[in-house]
Structure 1
Amino acid sequence: MGHRNRARRGPNGRFRTLHAPHVWWTRFPSPYRENAEYPKRPTPSNRRIVKATTSKPTMNHTRTLAGLIGLSALALTGLSQAQQLYPTVEAKLKPTADNFYTSPSTSELTSVTPGTVLRYRALPAGSLSTNLKEGWQLMYRSNNNKNLPVAMVTTVLIPKSVPATGRKLLSYQAFYDSLTLDCSPSGQATSNALLEKTFFNSALNKGYIVTMADYEGLESQWIVARNSAHGVLDGIRATLRFTKAGLNATTPVGMLGYSGGGFATGWAAEYAPSYAPELKIVGAAEGGLPVNPINVAKKVDGTFWAGAYIGAVVGLSRGYPEINVEDYATPAGVEAVKDAGTRCLTGFPNLLTAYAYKNGTDYYKDPNFLDLPVMQAINRENTMGQFTPKIPLHIFQSIGDQLMPIADVDNLVATYCARGVKVEYKRVWGTDHVIGALGMGGGLTYLLDRFDGKAVPNTCK
């Protein structure tokens, strides 16, 4: 994935400048404007003038240049924005081979605020929901774990039943748990292969707009708290600013997620008061929580879910470059780290099947690798409960979850309650992490009630 991490420019600043009734390919000084659509990169075969069907060209290049200068002036004064058409998503094109995911340069990212839309494109018709009016993918500015500017992508779904006014937004955090961009929600959305669409289709059927961020970022920083929180919150900001969604700064927002998506949701709730206090978040529903990443790794070591151990270590190392995992790895571990970086938990190539029933001692020289001071220090930064959410929460957890120690979740809820957070906590009978995802239905109902302004339940004693 290293080749995706380099900051590079977009499609060379090529734009399609419109002059009724004709179109010419021209250049524009800066391709990165909020809510800017992106053109297909011109090639020798498509640089020719495109004639309109209504008449022959009557404008000369002088008028084209004059129009371009006028458009530039308007964009710079904020009175208008450059509109650059980026082709509709190609379903078979993976994100790692898709120029849409190429990050702008650091200087270009620094020049705009978090949540600024950098580019956007349409989803193919019929993607993810039969109730979909239109779908979009936005690249936006965010900040990573080190608070450095980065680009991220979110998928925005607008249902046919969306009201003209009073729209509501659900921020859905997928449990994609991936070490490659190819397993990201946006990548799965283009191929209509996202397993989780059942969970947010109910919201679409209610007329709510859904935004679904690739909150791990272009580097796939799995289980890195601050990076995930920023990705979620800036994805919400970008969606609110995206004019085609018909939303604004007063739009109520709910957040929903399970497992890795619950981790991102929970951390977004913790960071929102300091990082994005302007957002009107009415509540969050989160379940299957990896409260303490190292405790999860220890629990799954040697089990069917052992891939989560090596995956979490690789993901954390991407957020904390000071960890050179290979320095601690055995020869087999060095190869495993490279291989795991191409896999994901919920897609293919699959991380779980590759490392089922493996032991951490097979890959790390020190049998107490997870207890090393450097790992414990990083784990503390990524253990939930660092900050206090200012919104009501619905937390649900399977008692017999094979991955997530329920004692950690119990302690997190107790911490929130002691700080005055209103929490509805549901301990669900069951012995399976996957089946625990069915609690998402109750989580969505909880959020619908928050949107409707109903009384907030509180199980804190």
Structure 2
Amino acid sequence: MSTRKVVLAALKVSAVAVSALLSTSLLFTPISNAEPVNDFYDAIPGDVGDPGSVIRTEPLPLAGAVGGVPGVGTRIVYSSTDTHGSNVAVSGSYLEPAAPWSGAGPRPTVVIGPGTQGQGDQCAPSRMFPTAGQLRLAEPGNPSNYGAGVDSVGVNYESAFAFAFLAQGVRVFVTDYIGLGTPGIHTYVNRAEEAHAMLDGARAARALAKAGEDDPIALWGHSQGGGATAAATELAPEYAPELNLVGSYASAPPADLASVLRHIDGTGLMAAIGYTINGVLDRYPAAREPIESRLNDYGRSVLADVAGQCLIDSRTKYGKQSTASWTTDGRPLADVVESVPEIQQVIEEQRIGRRTPASPILVNGALNDDFIPYEQTRRLVQDWCARGAEATLFTDTLPAVNPGSGNNHLAPAVADFGVGLQYVLDRFNGKPLVGACNA
């Protein structure tokens, strides 16, 4: 299949997926809370080995493809490390393409970092590949915003992008990230943990494929996935130097959380601030008291609620609220972060751009992105270029539509997918870089 046809197919499916984020009109497979717990995702400490080692696998049916099943799926739990260096288990999806690889050299692998899915385990992409989406049914007597006893809606909108790569004969690995699917809190936008999950996912994929050490690998992601890709690319030389990482595509990466925090407050994605705080409270004990003492009862109830939600749940219930309603003094959290050193230190620790990628990377930023400010994306590329990296900035100029809704954040993921796909394929095929600094 030609690249153009693949891109058009991906755009068609992705448009449906993006629409699903803004409504709940799609049909999903019901998942009852009363069903037996699937212990596939559980891992005892003795199961967790060296980073990237495979703990367990099981067959993973694939749904939602255009033109038939594009390959064979395997659900996987693998080993990684958290921000403090402790071994942890992570889940993900390994997809082996049915199509042949017709490019240069051995068959390559792309590791996808998903965009924001939510913080509940039911939101993990590996749980949704069989159906493309799902509903979690509420317990009897538990009020629901969705009616009919439904309390959670998830959409695996990364599947369209994954299938487009499969159609090109490229292996795909989609990480769930630490704590999304597996036990424990999902440490949303934690720079080190997302980077580890992606790089160890590449190691696990190589083991499952029985690939050679020189087989090429690329990283890809939008939004949360763009941040994970950017963090993994700059951390790879020290964390996983043995990987043959030939290129990365980071779209709308949240590289500067302080900037993003102020930008998304009051938008449709504001509940993601709650995901972030929940992860910080779990991983950074020194920041717990300074944060919790500044939250009012409503703020604490929101954090507890979003910890079990998928993105559509959070958008529906808390979208376009202000975090000023969460704090004891009525200030938005961005102001609180700036005034409390213990919190500011944690946020600064997540900053991307302070290490030097050893492989090329294309960064996509949209001028009118209503979730990820363009200026911090441009600065990320400037920081890398100053360090000697081979980085390229692609600027999306789509006009703003209904600012604050997320349209101007989601549309570039679809409209510019072909740009990212072609960039990755060019790296796999060893083509010269065009427009990169220091190339």
TM interval, shorter chain, is: 0.7 to 0.9
- Quote how far apart the aligned CAs of 1:163 are: 4.9
* Partner-residue secondary structure (3-state), 2:106: coil
**Structure 1 unmatched ranges of 5 or more:** 1-89
Q: Which has the larger radius of gyration?
A: 1
> 1:256, 1:159 → 2: CA distance?
17
The residue that corresponds to 1:358 in the other structure is 321
Q: Is the 8 A contact 1:266 1:384 kept in 2?
A: yes
Equivalent residue, structure 2, for 1:191: 131
Summarize the Cα distance change of 1:91–1:211 in structure 2 as closer, same or farther, 3 Å threshold.
farther
C-alpha root-mean-square deviation of aligned residues, in Å? 2.3
- Output the amino acid matched with 2:197: G
How many Å apart are 1:458 and its aligned residue?
2.9
1:145 aligns with 2:83: yes
Query: Within 2, Cα distance between the matches of 1:191 and 1:284?
Result: 28
> 1:241-320 counterparts in 2 under 5 A?
241-242=207-208, 245-320=209-284
Look up the match of 1:169. 109
- Relative distance call for 1:400 and 1:126 in structure 2 (3 A) is closer
> For residues 337-366 of structure 1, what are the alpha-carbon distances to aligned partners after superposition, in whole Å with 9 as ceiling and x for unaligned?
110111132x4xx21221122111211224
- Taking structure 1 as reference, are residues 376 and 354 closer, same or farther at Cα in structure 2, changes over 3 Å only? same
Query: How do 1:339-354 residues align onto structure 2 when only pairs under 5 Å count?
Result: 339-345=305-311, 347=312, 350-354=313-317
> Equivalent residue of 1:434, what SS?
helix
Instruction: Give 1:216 deviation, angstroms.
Output: 3.3
Which residue, out of 153, 157, 168, partners 1:206?
Answer: 168
**SS at the partner of 2:266?**
coil
Which of 393, 397, 412 aligns to 1:436? It is 412
User: Helix, strand or coil: the match of 1:229?
Assistant: helix
What's the % identity of the aligned pairs? 27
Contact 2:101–2:168, Cα closer than 8 Å, also in 1: no
Tell me what 2:71 maps to.
Answer: 133
Aligned residue type for 2:59: A
Change (3 A) 1:127 1:456: same
* Cα contact 1:176–1:185 (8 A) shared by 2: no
CA distance in 2, matches of 1:321, 1:351: 26
Indicate conservation of the 8 Å contact 2:110/2:172, yes or no.
yes
Query: In 2, distance between residues paired with 1:121 and 1:386?
Result: 38
Match of 1:335 among 297, 301, 305: 301
- 8 Å contact kept, 2:195–2:231: yes
8 Å Cα contact 1:139-1:153 kept in structure 2 = yes
Of 418-427 and 119-128, the range deviating more from structure 2: 119-128
Does 1 or 2 have the higher relative contact order (CA < 8 Å, sep 6+)? 2
Work out the CA distance in 1 between the residues paired with 2:172 and 2:62: 16
Gaps of 5+ in 2: 1-28, 134-155, 401-407
Q: Distance in 2 between matches of 1:234 and 1:264?
A: 12
Show the counterpart of 1:118: 55
| Cα pair distance change 1:144/1:128, threshold 3 Å | farther
Q: Deviations over 1:218-241 (max 9, x none)?
A: 331111010100011001101111
Instruction: For 1:232, give the aligned amino acid.
Output: M
Tell me the CA shift for residue 421 of structure 1.
1.2
Deviations 1:361-414 (A, max 9, x none): 211224232221112101111011121110101111110111112111111111
Decide whether aligned partners of structure 1 residues 176 and 187 sit closer, same or farther in structure 2, where only a CA change above 3 A counts: farther
**CA separation of 1:163 and 1:433: change in aligned 2, threshold 3 A:** closer
Q: Is the 8 A contact 1:169 1:208 kept in 2?
A: yes
Counterpart check, 1:156 vs 2:94: yes
Q: What is the distance in 2 between the residues matched to 1:108 and 1:133?
A: 28
Q: In structure 2, what is the Cα distance between the partners aligned to 1:330 and 1:441?
A: 45
CA distance in 1, matches of 2:224, 2:336: 23
CA change 1:428–1:126 in 2 (3 A) is: closer
Change over 3 Å in CA distance of 1:403–1:163 after alignment to 2? closer
Displacement after TM superposition at 1:202 (Å) = 1.8
Q: 1:91, CA displacement in angstroms?
A: 9.1
Change (3 A) 1:228 1:128: farther
1:15-72 Cα distance to aligned partner (Å, 9 max, x none): xxxxxxxxxxxxxxxxxxxxxxxxxxxxxxxxxxxxxxxxxxxxxxxxxxxxxxxxxx
CA separation of 1:434 and 1:293: change in aligned 2, threshold 3 A:
same
Q: Does the residue aligned with 1:396 lie in a helix, a strand or coil?
A: strand
Please give the TM-score of this superposition, normalised by the length of structure 1: 0.74
